[in-house]
Amino acid sequence: MRYAHGGGLTPKEQEKRQRVRLEAAERFSRGEKTEAVASKLRVTSRSVRRWRREWEEGGTDVLRSKGPASVERLSPGQWERLERELVRGSLAHGWDDAFQGWTLKRVKLLIGRMFHLGYTIQGVWKLLRRHGWSAQVPLRRAVERDDEAIECGRPRCGRG
Protein backbone atom coordinates (compact mmCIF):
# COMPACT_ATOMS: atom_id res chain seq x y z
CA MET A 1 0.00 0.00 0.00
CA ARG A 2 1.36 3.45 -0.86
CA TYR A 3 0.62 6.71 0.88
CA ALA A 4 0.94 10.28 -0.37
CA HIS A 5 3.50 11.26 2.29
CA GLY A 6 5.65 8.27 1.33
CA GLY A 7 6.93 5.35 3.28
CA GLY A 8 3.76 3.56 4.36
CA LEU A 9 2.71 3.35 7.99
CA THR A 10 4.73 3.35 11.19
CA PRO A 11 4.19 0.39 13.55
CA LYS A 12 1.90 2.54 15.73
CA GLU A 13 -0.14 3.57 12.68
CA GLN A 14 -0.32 -0.07 11.54
CA GLU A 15 -1.70 -1.04 14.94
CA LYS A 16 -4.29 1.73 14.78
CA ARG A 17 -5.35 0.71 11.27
CA GLN A 18 -5.65 -2.92 12.40
CA ARG A 19 -7.97 -1.85 15.25
CA VAL A 20 -10.19 -0.10 12.69
CA ARG A 21 -10.35 -3.22 10.50
CA LEU A 22 -11.15 -5.45 13.50
CA GLU A 23 -13.88 -3.02 14.59
CA ALA A 24 -15.28 -3.29 11.07
CA ALA A 25 -15.29 -7.10 11.39
CA GLU A 26 -17.34 -6.83 14.59
CA ARG A 27 -19.82 -4.60 12.80
CA PHE A 28 -19.99 -7.03 9.85
CA SER A 29 -20.89 -9.85 12.24
CA ARG A 30 -23.74 -7.70 13.62
CA GLY A 31 -25.04 -7.24 10.08
CA GLU A 32 -24.35 -3.53 9.72
CA LYS A 33 -24.44 -2.05 6.22
CA THR A 34 -21.27 -0.99 4.41
CA GLU A 35 -22.16 2.72 4.35
CA ALA A 36 -22.94 2.73 8.08
CA VAL A 37 -19.63 1.02 8.92
CA ALA A 38 -17.70 3.44 6.70
CA SER A 39 -19.40 6.44 8.26
CA LYS A 40 -18.94 5.26 11.84
CA LEU A 41 -15.26 4.34 11.35
CA ARG A 42 -14.53 7.39 9.15
CA VAL A 43 -13.09 5.38 6.25
CA THR A 44 -14.10 5.01 2.61
CA SER A 45 -16.88 2.70 1.53
CA ARG A 46 -14.43 1.16 -0.91
CA SER A 47 -12.15 0.07 1.95
CA VAL A 48 -15.09 -1.32 3.90
CA ARG A 49 -16.28 -3.30 0.87
CA ARG A 50 -12.76 -4.76 0.45
CA TRP A 51 -12.53 -5.62 4.15
CA ARG A 52 -16.00 -7.20 4.09
CA ARG A 53 -15.07 -9.34 1.09
CA GLU A 54 -11.85 -10.48 2.81
CA TRP A 55 -13.74 -11.11 6.08
CA GLU A 56 -16.41 -13.19 4.32
CA GLU A 57 -13.71 -15.31 2.64
CA GLY A 58 -11.33 -15.77 5.58
CA GLY A 59 -12.78 -14.46 8.82
CA THR A 60 -11.45 -11.88 11.23
CA ASP A 61 -7.85 -13.13 11.14
CA VAL A 62 -7.37 -12.01 7.52
CA LEU A 63 -7.97 -8.42 8.64
CA ARG A 64 -5.06 -8.48 11.08
CA SER A 65 -1.91 -6.57 10.14
CA LYS A 66 0.68 -8.54 8.27
CA GLY A 67 3.44 -6.29 9.63
CA PRO A 68 5.69 -3.90 7.76
CA ALA A 69 5.88 -4.26 3.99
CA SER A 70 9.63 -4.67 4.21
CA VAL A 71 11.93 -6.15 6.81
CA GLU A 72 14.31 -3.70 8.39
CA ARG A 73 17.87 -4.45 7.37
CA LEU A 74 19.50 -2.97 10.46
CA SER A 75 19.47 -5.07 13.61
CA PRO A 76 18.25 -3.39 16.81
CA GLY A 77 21.88 -3.07 17.94
CA GLN A 78 22.92 -1.47 14.66
CA TRP A 79 20.02 0.97 14.87
CA GLU A 80 21.08 1.98 18.39
CA ARG A 81 24.64 2.60 17.16
CA LEU A 82 23.34 4.63 14.20
CA GLU A 83 21.06 6.67 16.43
CA ARG A 84 23.95 7.49 18.79
CA GLU A 85 25.95 8.72 15.81
CA LEU A 86 23.05 10.79 14.50
CA VAL A 87 22.77 12.46 17.90
CA ARG A 88 26.50 13.27 17.80
CA GLY A 89 25.84 15.28 14.66
CA SER A 90 27.12 15.49 11.12
CA LEU A 91 30.12 17.59 12.15
CA ALA A 92 31.49 14.64 14.14
CA HIS A 93 31.46 12.62 10.91
CA GLY A 94 33.39 15.04 8.75
CA TRP A 95 30.69 17.21 7.24
CA ASP A 96 31.79 20.71 8.13
CA ASP A 97 28.62 22.37 6.91
CA ALA A 98 27.09 22.55 10.40
CA PHE A 99 24.12 24.62 9.17
CA GLN A 100 22.75 21.83 6.98
CA GLY A 101 23.33 19.06 9.52
CA TRP A 102 22.05 15.62 8.60
CA THR A 103 20.42 15.04 5.25
CA LEU A 104 19.00 11.78 3.96
CA LYS A 105 21.97 11.46 1.64
CA ARG A 106 24.42 11.90 4.51
CA VAL A 107 22.59 9.33 6.64
CA LYS A 108 22.69 6.94 3.67
CA LEU A 109 26.45 7.41 3.41
CA LEU A 110 26.87 6.96 7.18
CA ILE A 111 24.95 3.67 7.10
CA GLY A 112 27.17 2.49 4.26
CA ARG A 113 30.34 3.42 6.14
CA MET A 114 29.25 1.94 9.45
CA PHE A 115 27.51 -1.25 8.36
CA HIS A 116 28.51 -1.82 4.73
CA LEU A 117 24.84 -1.78 3.74
CA GLY A 118 23.42 0.01 0.73
CA TYR A 119 20.22 1.96 1.31
CA THR A 120 18.32 4.18 -1.11
CA ILE A 121 17.34 7.69 -0.07
CA GLN A 122 13.74 6.49 0.18
CA GLY A 123 14.85 3.52 2.27
CA VAL A 124 16.69 5.84 4.66
CA TRP A 125 13.58 8.00 4.97
CA LYS A 126 11.41 4.96 5.75
CA LEU A 127 13.95 3.68 8.28
CA LEU A 128 14.15 7.02 10.08
CA ARG A 129 10.41 7.57 10.02
CA ARG A 130 9.80 4.09 11.42
CA HIS A 131 11.99 5.04 14.39
CA GLY A 132 10.34 8.41 15.02
CA TRP A 133 12.73 10.74 13.18
CA SER A 134 11.68 13.57 10.88
CA ALA A 135 13.37 14.49 7.60
CA GLN A 136 13.00 18.16 8.38
CA VAL A 137 16.38 19.83 7.89
CA PRO A 138 18.15 19.63 10.21
CA LEU A 139 17.23 16.00 10.79
CA ARG A 140 15.65 15.49 14.21
CA ARG A 141 13.32 13.31 16.14
CA ALA A 142 9.72 13.83 15.10
CA VAL A 143 8.77 14.99 18.61
CA GLU A 144 11.19 17.91 18.15
CA ARG A 145 9.77 18.80 14.75
CA ASP A 146 8.68 22.38 14.11
CA ASP A 147 5.39 21.99 12.22
CA GLU A 148 5.00 25.75 11.74
CA ALA A 149 8.43 25.98 10.10
CA ILE A 150 7.54 23.08 7.83
CA GLU A 151 4.24 24.71 6.86
CA CYS A 152 5.90 28.06 6.16
CA GLY A 153 8.56 26.36 4.09
CA ARG A 154 5.92 25.56 1.48
CA PRO A 155 5.55 28.03 -1.40
CA ARG A 156 1.82 28.54 -0.68
CA CYS A 157 2.42 29.71 2.89
CA GLY A 158 1.30 33.33 3.17
CA ARG A 159 3.42 34.12 6.24
CA GLY A 160 6.90 35.62 6.37
- Convert the pLDDT of each residue in 51-98 to its tens digit: 999 999 999 999 998 776 667 788 889 999 999 999 888 888 888 775
- Domain count within the chain: 2
- Convert the pLDDT of each residue in 19-58 to its tens digit: 999 999 999 999 999 999 999 999 999 999 999 999 999 9
In a domain, 68, yes or no: no
- Convert the pLDDT of each residue in 111-134 to its tens digit: 999 999 999 998 898 888 888 887
pLDDT, averaged across the chain: 80
Question: Is 83 found in the same domain as 54?
Answer: no
Percent helix, percent strand, percent coil in the chain, to nearest 5? 60, 0, 40
In a domain, 1, yes or no: no
Question: Is 133 found in the same domain as 91?
Answer: yes
pTM of the model: 0.51
How would you class 13 by CB atoms within 10 Å of its CB: exposed for 0-12, middle for 13-18, buried for 19 or more?
exposed
In a domain, 83, yes or no: yes
Range of the domain at 97: 76-152
